[in-house]
Structure 1
Amino acid sequence: MPGHANQKLFYNTVLCQTFSPNGSHLLAGNIYGDVSVFDLSKVLGPYQGEENNLRGPNYHFTAYPDQHVESIIATDNFLVTGTSGEISGWDWKIVTSNKAPKMKASWTVQIPSNKDSYEKPDVNYMVYSKENHMLYAGCGDNNIYVINLDNGKILQTLDGHKDYIHCLALMGNQLASGAEDGTVRLWDLRKKENTNVLQPHAIEKIARPRLGKWIGALDFTEDWLLCGGGPKLSLWHMRTMEAATVFDLPDQGIHVADIYEERIITGGSMSHVHHLTYQGDTLAEVPTSSNTIYNIIYQEKPQKILSIAGTSNKIDICTNFNYREMTLKFA
């Protein structure tokens, strides 16, 4: 049924992306439960095909039939995917080989269901600590689960958010989380406690009541915290927890916000990915194939590449971060 497949892809949304640990492959997950695998040396090499035909993946496999691949990350040994109620690990050797389409998950961790609800909590966002092999999963039941990947056990639950979690960021022993409840929470992972709560929507120059109070994206360093969503994108001093810069962007909601070296990279419900200085000046505006961007990933080695995806079957690739070099298709 090729017609049906094409129609599906017309409505495709790519929810998440990651690079393999050695940087050789780009992987993307979509709303139909599929993961596409791109070999970057082939993608970035000379192209033999028709000028108008976009390059597709080397292979793809179905991680979750009829469910979303909501989040995806890389550990040294596994590609880790999250969906409604569970997290799965896939062996890299098979993921990056032509056996990928027939692959089965190597392991699965079930997220506990609320006894009063038939719905399984969505695994909306994951971050991984290489130092201690811990996976942190922000979920639709308002909780962050700390999972030991050596044995697949949930070690603890960080609770405090009053609505589902959209995003996480990790630095050393500190975790930041942003949620639908409009708060950004900072957690001390050694003491296992919530150390700070930020409410950007409570500040008039940041709030956008018509878009809601949800926090869709965040990132932080020792000095700065960046966040946005319904409220405008804003940069905060970590020490004083005061807003230093409020960015004036043409977005209808922020879904990606990253601090990269001396710049800020952001995307969301707008037609460009914006590269900005900390003070809010524009360094670059990169046009995108999607009306809404849900994820941007980048790496320096083995080749410098930034990949942009969202509400489209297309993935935009930049090797110079300031402009779009090529567009791939998810499938």
Structure 2
Amino acid sequence: MLDKILYNTVLCQAYSPCGKYLVAGNIYGQLAVFDLDRILNPVVELLTSDYNKPKYKHNLESGNQICSLVTTDKFLIIGTVNEIYGWDWKAILSVKLSKPSWQIKISSKTSLEYIDVNSLWLSEDREKLLAGCGDNNVYIYNLEDRRQISVLSGHDDYVHSVHGKNDQIISSGEDGAVLLWDLRTAKSHNKIEPYKNNKVSRPDLGKWVGSASLSDDWIVCGGGPRLALWHLRSLDVTTVFDLPDHGIHVSYFHDDCVIASGAAKHLYQLSYSGEIRVELPVSATTVYSAVLKSNPNVLAIAGSSPEIDLCTSFNYRDQILHFR
């Protein structure tokens, strides 16, 4: 029988509130929980051959793929197909997974039978949960009572990513649009379409935008079009990053740099002017998730591979975790 885990794809990752655990979700509806302290600070006398494998592995009852993860102090929030679940962290860090503490069913007016929750983002006040979905919408929920507050409708194809800064939200989609929204009014006030810009368009790779992120003054986004830095106020493209990629799925700001990866052999750390500061080799043929935490610094990189790269520095891989 074919070992399906060899063809594993990890779509999302999250750290526990204490920072001691990494959780990864895959296309088979499995959650792998890794004990970072045991992995990064091993006691040699107690070291076993499976130290870099999950401490716990949970299976969702539905078997649906785990598309997105986000964490609060109390809950691990899981976006899957048609539903969003909230599991108490105590349940996640147990041998057997209990029932979720709560769930939200996506109520769409479209005729789609299966709606993937592709991206989750928490507002900075931790009161609102935003979900970018496969029915072209971004849903906003009150996290305390899980009540739907509003729907951001403006994309013509499914939403790949949602991110925010203060009261400003950015979403990107398969339609090639990057939309800017005001969280207070739930209205879109600006749009860029990178595939229409000659500096960044790559018609052979398509118009889709796999990732878009905000800082106070900048937007970074990429997908079929090249990864590029756009000025937030003028919406002009400022820097086009010259990367040997075949599509971008991860892009965000960290300190004074841009972190990016996708269908490439590396994860990149880039200056705003376009300089490649670090090319970090990756195990996955396509990276779908690269999550970073501080104190201490840990970067986890995952995608189309049963292996997850763990780094405490941007210069090299410390460990390779095995989703088995």
Tell me the CA shift for residue 96 of structure 1: 1.7
Tell me the CA shift for residue 193 of structure 1: 0.9
| Superposed counterparts of 1:33-182, under 5 Å | 33-46=29-42, 48-50=47-49, 55-98=52-95, 101-114=96-109, 116-117=111-112, 119-182=113-176
Tell me the CA shift for residue 64 of structure 1: 4.5
C-alpha separation in 1, matches of 2:111 and 2:86: 28
| Superposed counterparts of 1:210-221, under 5 Å | 210-221=204-215
Tell me the CA shift for residue 128 of structure 1: 0.7
C-alpha separation in 2, matches of 1:184 and 1:42: 41
Alpha-carbon contact 1:285-1:323 (below 8 Å) kept: no
Tell me the CA shift for residue 190 of structure 1: 1.1
Given the alignment of the two structures, is residue 209 of structure 1 paired with residue 208 of structure 2, yes or no?
no
Alpha-carbon contact 1:54-1:329 (below 8 Å) kept: no
Q: Which moved more, 1:262-271 or 1:123-132?
A: 123-132
C-alpha separation in 2, matches of 1:184 and 1:262: 22
Q: Among the aligned pairs, what percent are the same residue?
A: 43
Tell me the CA shift for residue 130 of structure 1: 4.6
List gaps (5 residues or longer) in structure 1: none
SS in 2 for 1:201: helix
C-alpha separation in 1, matches of 2:109 and 2:61: 21
Instruction: Give deviations 1:260-292, integer Å, cap 9, x for gaps.
Output: 001111110011111111111111111111100
Relative distance call for 1:130 and 1:75 in structure 2 (3 A) is: farther
C-alpha separation in 1, matches of 2:215 and 2:18: 24
Q: Which moved more, 1:229-238 or 1:147-156?
A: 147-156
C-alpha separation in 2, matches of 1:20 and 1:258: 20
Which one-letter code corresponds to 1:24 in the other structure? K
C-alpha separation in 1, matches of 2:300 and 2:7: 20
Instruction: Give deviations 1:190-242, integer Å, cap 9, x for gaps.
Output: 12210110011101110000100000011111111000000000001111110
Task: State TM-score, norm by structure 1.
Answer: 0.94
| Aligned-residue CA RMSD (Å) | 1.4
Alpha-carbon contact 1:61-1:103 (below 8 Å) kept: no
Alpha-carbon contact 1:258-1:264 (below 8 Å) kept: yes
Tell me the CA shift for residue 54 of structure 1: 6.7
Task: State TM-score, norm by structure 2.
Answer: 0.96
C-alpha separation in 2, matches of 1:54 and 1:163: 42
| Superposed counterparts of 1:5-20, under 5 Å | 7-20=3-16
Relative distance call for 1:149 and 1:87 in structure 2 (3 A) is: same
| Superposed counterparts of 1:307-322, under 5 Å | 307-322=300-315
C-alpha separation in 1, matches of 2:82 and 2:318: 37
Aligned residue pairs, count: 321
Alpha-carbon contact 1:284-1:323 (below 8 Å) kept: no
Alpha-carbon contact 1:113-1:120 (below 8 Å) kept: no
Which of 271, 281, 300 is 2:294 aligned to?
Answer: 300
Instruction: Give deviations 1:47-72, integer Å, cap 9, x for gaps.
Output: 5234xx67101101112443100011
C-alpha separation in 1, matches of 2:71 and 2:309: 20
C-alpha separation in 2, matches of 1:322 and 1:165: 32
List gaps (5 residues or longer) in structure 2: none
Which one-letter code corresponds to 1:59 in the other structure? Y
Task: Tell me what 2:317 maps to.
Answer: 324
Relative distance call for 1:130 and 1:206 in structure 2 (3 A) is: closer
C-alpha separation in 1, matches of 2:24 and 2:260: 19
Which one-letter code corresponds to 1:146 in the other structure? I
